[in-house]
Structure 1
Amino acid sequence: MTAAARPWTAPLATGPVASSVSLPGSKSMTARALVLSALAEGPSRIERPLRARDTTLMAAALRSLGAAIDTGSAGGAAGDVPGNAGTAAIWTVEPGPLRGPATVDVGLAGTIMRFAPPVAALAEGTVTFDGDPHARNRPLRPIVEALRSLGVVLDSSPEGGLPLVVRGTGMVAGGESVIDASGSSQFVSGLLLSAPRFTKGLVLRHEGPPVPSAPHLRMTTHMLRAAGAVVDESVPDVWSVEPGALRGRTWKIEPDLSGAVPFFAAAMVTGGSVTLAGWPRESWQPVATVIELLTRMGAEVTQDDAGLTVRGTGELHGIDADLSEVSELTPVISALAALAGSPSTLTGVAHIRGHETDRIAALATELSKVGAGIVEHPDGLEITPGPLKAATFETYADHRMAHAAAVIGLAVPGVELSDVACTSKTLPEFPELWAGLVTGS
């Protein structure tokens, strides 16, 4: 169930922000750890996962298929991240026989609608998938067709999406399949995560325009190997996973880098400083790409034992950037571009039209509304800063749109978000953490 809409006035910054923030774990890592743990041969622990709508729905989906998942296990209360009530320190997963019948609510989460159907194909019984109304518009056909090519029986909508019914027989033969994953790297990740359990494993070949969000694919293969899978990705656009057992293990979830970027943007807009506490020295997230991007826009970025720190220099630079590897950041980068001292051109993100909303069209509409000059292209935006003004910024049930509006509201009085409750998708505490950052409380 979605949270009730909550209109919200973005707080205006009256000076440089200065804060160290403790944020929940990575949504992407939490989702993958849940799936790999449910498919393993022994129990697993997930330390400092993200507790938000997407991840609790993922846990519920896997629980309905037979895994025993405790999202409030021993140690949770004592080990919670300071200032982050939404994160239990430890979740535990005990795999069980996969079975239906089951009904899965995907919400609006691409991870669930693309990661869970291959798991359901391994179950014995019928599993039905559906979600929020807009979830039916999110692309799913490539993974449906790939599963069919591997012998899985499915019923889908005429468009190849939700509602989806997977008629599992307790096994998937596996083998070779071809997919066009240009719409989402999640099509590849969803198949790879379950592939060790396929009788013949999987050789998956992508044919089509480039696959976006390559760092997410690398995260998938890293985590598969950490669970004991044998994965070969030495040939471009081909992934080979050998059949075999997955090990239960302890997963240590990193702070969510995408979720931190709005807070880093606050440092840049206000000329302040924000440290993401608990950032690891070695990361499975695209930290180098993010650092390079923020530095080009005028930030100073350092890392030490305290964490990853972004400092504003008092200037925001426009940028020409291909965001295909970090497309989740497009809304916040667009907000920074609207506040910058020179124009920006952002490209490589045609696939985000199929995200929680058509993010390119939504950004074009809302940034124009607050006064930026916008030219919309099929794969991105040209953004010319202008005198910005108060407006109601529609959030389209999309957490990233809410983040963009909050960033603009730091410098522009009277920016009203139509709904801030949509941030519960990945960070339920966002309004309170953001207000505390701006006010220094």
Structure 2
Amino acid sequence: MTSTQTWPAPVAAGPVDATVALPGSKSMTNRALILAALADGPTLVEAPLRSRDTLLMAAALRALGVDVEDEGADWRVRPGALRGPAAVDVGLAGTVMRFLPPVAALADGEVTIDGDPRARERPMGPLLTALHRLGAEINDGGRGALPFTVRGRGGLAGGPVTIDASGSSQLVSGLLLAAPRFEKGVEVRHEGPPVPSAPHLAMTVAMLRAAGASVETGTDLWRVASGPVRGGVTAIEPDLSNAAQFLGAALVTGGRVTVPGWPAETTQPGDALRGLLASMGAEVTDGPAGLTVRGTGGFRGIDADLREVGELTPVLAALAALADSPSRLTGIAHLRGHETDRLAALVAELNALGGDARELPDGLEIRPRPLRGGVFRTYDDHRMVMAAAVLGLAVPGIEVENVATVGKTLPGFTGLWTAMLEG
């Protein structure tokens, strides 16, 4: 994933005017693959994202005995008896490292799970403790982190469990997705600071229900009953979070960008872009052609709580650095445990270009200043690449380190970006 070469972020020659068709949602694709692997019959996953994160999920499920085959642009998933021994590489994918262990506990045999060096630093302890309390046998050497081995016995008792999921909503989603196959289902209760990224939990619940699972929710409480998971057809929506940098380009350049296929109703956190960009001064319209954002000249900073949409932070921070007034982005302390410490990384890279950014206890404060070119480090974090590209629209001479890391969720990003600028 690492390259020594840099990518010169292109400067916009004028207002962009483009339609950008986005590939499928990573979050939906990896949830669909888990549910398909546990279903009572085959599933056709339509228009999935094929990126590093989703290919790692497909490979992990294949290692456990699930048949995941290409069928044109789709994936055909045929569930099989989950089994070990198996070795699973989660890369740096939060969805794989949090969704796969509960499935591994259902397998018959040992499953060893590991990933990239940074993955060993990401929050896993609460999930492993919860699985142990639900009946799983896990050897993690007492670290509460990768690597570890799940000694599956072909099933899991399940039942009630309490977890602190303030580090990531994926800690809850991982338990819920596999719960229909637990003998007693699961009742997950969260205790601790608020769970971030609530829309992702809503996505998990909606997709479980669409697959026939019985799910009840309350305040910091989720119950999934034991029962069958239906196969069939699961259509994947375009990845709305990956629209952020393209729609942001309209704001930066005073141009227009349309994303076709924007769903009228969705649980994707990226849908919040409509309100966030409008609050910065964009004109946002939704019509038959898709969602369109038009820049209206200059644009202003924002004061926004991003707890539920933390993944949008890097691009919004880049926009904030180019805006006409200061910004405060809060509710995002949990981003310190993402692919990198995103708060520290954004402050370091913006300030290295002459910006004025500082960390808050739970976020960022950014005051616009004239920026200069230079190398923008990406820390093996796909969203740092996207932020750098947005800055490059207005700041000549930005060289983006390891642009290939964007393949984690958006392969072909540089081609899409160039095509947008060419209209």
TM-score, normalised on structure 2?
0.98
**Can you list the C-alpha shifts for 1:72-115, whole angstroms capped at 9, x where unaligned?**
21xx2xxxxxxxxxxxx211000000100000000000000000
Alpha-carbon RMSD across the aligned residues, in angstroms, is 1.0
- Distance in 1 (CA, whole Å) between partners of 2:62 and 2:270 is 32
Report the alpha carbon displacement of residue 311 of structure 1 after superposing the two structures with TM: 1.0
* Aligned residue in 1 for 2:205: 221
- 2:157 is paired with a residue whose SS is coil
Contact 2:241 2:269 in 1 (8 A): no
* Aligned residue in 1 for 2:121: 137
Report the alpha carbon displacement of residue 3 of structure 1 after superposing the two structures with TM: 5.5
Report the alpha carbon displacement of residue 281 of structure 1 after superposing the two structures with TM: 2.2
* Aligned residue in 1 for 2:194: 210
The residue identity in structure 2 corresponding to 1:222 is A
Report the alpha carbon displacement of residue 282 of structure 1 after superposing the two structures with TM: 2.4
* Aligned residue in 1 for 2:215: 231
* Aligned residue in 2 for 1:329: 312
* Aligned residue in 2 for 1:17: 16
- Distance in 2 (CA, whole Å) between partners of 1:159 and 1:173 is 24
**Can you list the C-alpha shifts for 1:213-271, whole angstroms capped at 9, x where unaligned?**
000000000000000000000x2000000000000021110000011111001111001
1:381 to 349, 364, 371: 364
* Aligned residue in 2 for 1:426: 409
Change (3 A) 1:158 1:269: same
Report the alpha carbon displacement of residue 439 of structure 1 after superposing the two structures with TM: 2.8
Q: Larger deviation: 339-348 or 299-308?
A: 299-308
- 1:363 is paired with a residue whose SS is helix
- Distance in 2 (CA, whole Å) between partners of 1:91 and 1:41 is 17
Report the alpha carbon displacement of residue 313 of structure 1 after superposing the two structures with TM: 1.1
Matched, 1:7 2:6: yes
The residue identity in structure 1 corresponding to 2:293 is V
Report the alpha carbon displacement of residue 287 of structure 1 after superposing the two structures with TM: 5.1
- Distance in 2 (CA, whole Å) between partners of 1:288 and 1:404 is 18
Report the alpha carbon displacement of residue 157 of structure 1 after superposing the two structures with TM: 4.5
**Can you list the C-alpha shifts for 1:99-157, whole angstroms capped at 9, x where unaligned?**
00000000000000000000000000000001111111111001000001111000114
Report the alpha carbon displacement of residue 285 of structure 1 after superposing the two structures with TM: 1.4
2:80 to 80, 84, 96: 96
**Can you list the C-alpha shifts for 1:159-178, whole angstroms capped at 9, x where unaligned?**
30000110000010000000
- Distance in 1 (CA, whole Å) between partners of 2:307 and 2:88 is 30
Report the alpha carbon displacement of residue 305 of structure 1 after superposing the two structures with TM: 1.3
- Distance in 2 (CA, whole Å) between partners of 1:423 and 1:289 is 22
The residue identity in structure 2 corresponding to 1:326 is V
- Distance in 2 (CA, whole Å) between partners of 1:157 and 1:189 is 24
- Distance in 1 (CA, whole Å) between partners of 2:267 and 2:343 is 27
Contact 1:213 1:327 in 2 (8 A): yes
Q: Larger deviation: 174-183 or 374-383?
A: 374-383
- 1:375 is paired with a residue whose SS is strand
Matches within 5 A, 1:244-259: 244-259=227-242
- 1:434 is paired with a residue whose SS is helix
- Distance in 2 (CA, whole Å) between partners of 1:435 and 1:127 is 42
- Distance in 1 (CA, whole Å) between partners of 2:354 and 2:312 is 21
Matched, 1:154 2:138: yes
Contact 1:276 1:309 in 2 (8 A): yes
Matched, 1:371 2:354: yes
- Distance in 2 (CA, whole Å) between partners of 1:142 and 1:183 is 9
* Aligned residue in 2 for 1:46: 45
Q: Larger deviation: 297-306 or 200-209?
A: 297-306
1:196 to 167, 180, 193: 180
- Distance in 1 (CA, whole Å) between partners of 2:365 and 2:240 is 25
- 2:91 is paired with a residue whose SS is coil
- Distance in 2 (CA, whole Å) between partners of 1:21 and 1:157 is 47
* Aligned residue in 2 for 1:106: 90
- Distance in 2 (CA, whole Å) between partners of 1:42 and 1:218 is 25
The residue identity in structure 2 corresponding to 1:431 is T
* Aligned residue in 1 for 2:343: 360
* Aligned residue in 2 for 1:84: none
Identical amino acids, percent of aligned pairs: 62
* Aligned residue in 1 for 2:67: 68
Report the alpha carbon displacement of residue 284 of structure 1 after superposing the two structures with TM: 2.6
Matched, 1:394 2:377: yes
- 2:394 is paired with a residue whose SS is coil
Q: Larger deviation: 32-41 or 305-314?
A: 305-314
- 1:294 is paired with a residue whose SS is helix
Change (3 A) 1:353 1:241: same
Change (3 A) 1:288 1:61: closer
Contact 1:5 1:421 in 2 (8 A): no
Change (3 A) 1:4 1:387: closer
The residue identity in structure 2 corresponding to 1:155 is N
The residue identity in structure 2 corresponding to 1:186 is Q
Contact 2:243 2:270 in 1 (8 A): no
- Distance in 1 (CA, whole Å) between partners of 2:259 and 2:292 is 6
**Runs of 4 or more above 3 Å deviation:** 3-6
The size of the alignment, in residue pairs, is: 423
- Distance in 2 (CA, whole Å) between partners of 1:391 and 1:183 is 33
- 1:314 is paired with a residue whose SS is coil
Matches within 5 A, 1:70-89: 70=69, 72-73=70-71, 76=72, 89=73
The residue identity in structure 2 corresponding to 1:225 is R
Contact 1:13 1:439 in 2 (8 A): no
- Distance in 2 (CA, whole Å) between partners of 1:439 and 1:5 is 27
Contact 1:6 1:421 in 2 (8 A): no
Report the alpha carbon displacement of residue 5 of structure 1 after superposing the two structures with TM: 4.6
Change (3 A) 1:98 1:5: farther
Contact 1:38 1:94 in 2 (8 A): yes
The residue identity in structure 2 corresponding to 1:114 is R
Contact 2:258 2:293 in 1 (8 A): yes
**Can you list the C-alpha shifts for 1:366-420, whole angstroms capped at 9, x where unaligned?**
0111111112122111000001111110000101001001000000000111111
- Distance in 1 (CA, whole Å) between partners of 2:163 and 2:65 is 29
Report the alpha carbon displacement of residue 301 of structure 1 after superposing the two structures with TM: 1.1
The residue identity in structure 2 corresponding to 1:218 is A
